[in-house]
Every structure is written in C-alpha cells, then in structure tokens.
Structure 1
Amino acid sequence: MSEEIRIVETTEMPVYGLRQHMAVKDFGTAFGTIFEQVAKDHLQPAGPTGARYYDEEFDREDSDIEVFIPLASKEGANASVGGMTCAKLTHKGGYSTLDESYARLVKWIEENGYQTTGAPYELYTKTGYENPNPATWETDIYFPVEKTQG
C-alpha cells in the first residue's frame, strides 16, 4: 500500500554517507559504520536515514548503493541529497514489497511525461525502531525528474 504519487521540490540535505557495492543484507553493517563515524566526529544527525541507488537495474545481491544519515549542518558532510524536483511516493509496509512501489512510481513517471534525471533515493521515515510491526513502516521514495520536451 502506498499514497498517491506527486511532484515535490525537495530541500537539499547535507549527509554523511557511505557508497559502495553491497547487497541489501549489508545495510546494517554499512549503517553501523556511518553511525560510528558520525559519533566519532561529533556530528549532529538531523532526520531519517536513507539510501540512494546508482545502478540502472537494482540487484539485491550487488548494487552501487549509498547509505546516509542527514546532518544538522554541512560541517562534516561528505555528500548531499535532494535540492531538486522529484516524483515522490510513500511506501507503507515492509521492505519486501518496496519493488512494487518502485514499479508503480517508474510507470507513473513514464505515463505522466517525466524523465528521471538522477539516482533515486529513499528516506526511512517510520521503521522497526518505532514499531516492530512492518505494517506501520513508511519509506519515502524519491526519483529526481524533469518534464519531457514535446
């Protein structure tokens, strides 16, 4: 289940991220690494964690992925996310059905005269940390887009 798709102007967020080829099962280790570095550098997290996907085709076992933590300021940031026009959808439910929301969003982009302009990203706005029931989880999915010509 997910909400309606809409076009939004996103705010640029400074982030501390780790980009590498990894499997979905490696997210926990990658997030652990960046949380340790953020604490070591005394950086201030500011918002939900996320991931950005750089490959054209997503492979659960090996994809070019950046996991990140938004920061309160640019100090210590090694990347940024947002600051662009995006097609947005909020996926409600467990991560095992994210592919359905991605497919719906990609189809909507094509059918509504848009084209993607960059790597899609997710923000994990409600997770198992707040409630272990996957039915309560929410993931905001953003695809940078622009209107196609003609």
Structure 2
Amino acid sequence: MYEIQERMLVEQPTMVMRGTIKLEDIPTFLGRAYHMVDSQIRDSGAHVVGEPFARYRCLDGEYREFEVEAGVPVVLAVSGHGGVEASVLPAGPAAVTVHTGPYERMEPAYDALNAWLDEHGGHADEPAWEVYHTDPNDQPDPATWRTEIVQPYKEVPRS
C-alpha cells in the first residue's frame, strides 16, 4: 500500500541531460547523464540542492521508448555543454509517493498515484519524475532503494 501526499511545488531550476532511449538502455543512459551533469556542476560551481531525478515521457504507448531528462536540482542553473543544459521542474500541485524496492517493481506506485488523481479530480498534465534517494553503487541491495515519485497535476472541475 502506498501513501499519497499532496504537495504544492515551486519551480525548481535543474541541470539535465536529455535523450531518447529504449527501456533497456535507461540504466546506461542515467549513469552517463549523472556523470556528465556532475562534472559540469563541479566545473561551473553550481550548487546542488537535492537528489538526482529522472523524468520520463513514454513515446510509443507501450513503454519501450522514452524521452528522458536526467539531472539534479540546483540553486541556479548555468549553461552547459556536451549535452548538459538548464531546465526546470514545474510549479504547481503534485501527488507524491515513495517506493522502496527495485525499480522494476514501481508500477504499483504509479497505479496508486493514478488512482489518487482519479479520486481527487486531478489530471496528470506533465510527466512524473522519480527522485532517487538511494545510490545503487553505495547500496547494492535493491530491496533498500528509496524512490520518490512526483506526479504534477491540474485540478479538473467536477460536474
């Protein structure tokens, strides 16, 4: 069972790397993206203010190909190079839950968020993002991985 929290988000500057990738390439892409973003943050002196995240937009309706934006929140985003760029996470209401366990078993968390939106008159108008609170390189046991899932939404008037 997933607990859903309602949050009001403020716009958050980020530094990210984007790519269009297949499902099986996500781990490789994320590793490369976080390495590139981290390198440019160190070079630029930008200040990280949160955990790494990834925002996914499904392109094929079958969850095999995605547009991915992977990066970190920063105090002030700076121009990047080599595929790293400034971006923002949007302001507004969001439904949030936490999944503990392997990434491959997150579908019930997304189902819980969607059910909550249906019950509360919300419409997901932006892609959700996942905030990774556990680094698999530091904690190899997938059962301990904590991932926060943030789903921005718009309120839909009930008739």
Residue 35, structure 1, aligned to residue 35, structure 2: yes
What number of residue pairs does the alignment pair up? 148
1:52 paired residue among 51, 55, 58: 55
Report the Cα distance in structure 1 between the residues aligned to 2:34 and 2:101, rounded to whole angstroms: 25
Percent identity of equivalent pairs: 23
**Which of 80-89 and 24-33 deviates more?**
24-33
Calculate the aligned-residue CA RMSD, in Å.
2.2
Query: Aligned to 1:126, what secondary structure does the other structure show?
Result: coil
- How big is the shift at 1:13? 1.9
- How big is the shift at 1:37? 4.6
Report the counterpart of residue 17 of structure 2 in structure 1: 18
| Unaligned runs of at least 5 residues, structure 1 | none
TM-score for both structures, normalised by structure 1 = 0.83
Residue 112, structure 1, aligned to residue 120, structure 2: yes
Query: Aligned to 1:54, what secondary structure does the other structure show?
Result: strand
Query: Any conservation in 1 of the 2:15–2:77 contact (CA below 8 Å)?
Result: no
Report the Cα distance in structure 2 between the residues aligned to 1:99 and 1:115, rounded to whole angstroms: 18
Query: Any conservation in 1 of the 2:14–2:73 contact (CA below 8 Å)?
Result: yes
- How big is the shift at 1:58? 5.7
| Unaligned runs of at least 5 residues, structure 2 | 80-84
TM-score for both structures, normalised by structure 2 = 0.79
- How big is the shift at 1:34? 4.6
CA-to-aligned-CA distance 1:49-93 (integer Å, 9 cap, x gap) = 11112237461x311221122223233451011422101111111
Query: Any conservation in 2 of the 1:5–1:87 contact (CA below 8 Å)?
Result: yes
Report the counterpart of residue 82 of structure 2 in structure 1: none
Going from structure 1 to structure 2, the CA distance change for 1:48 and 1:58 (only over 3 Å counts) comes to farther
1:75 paired residue among 61, 78, 83: 78
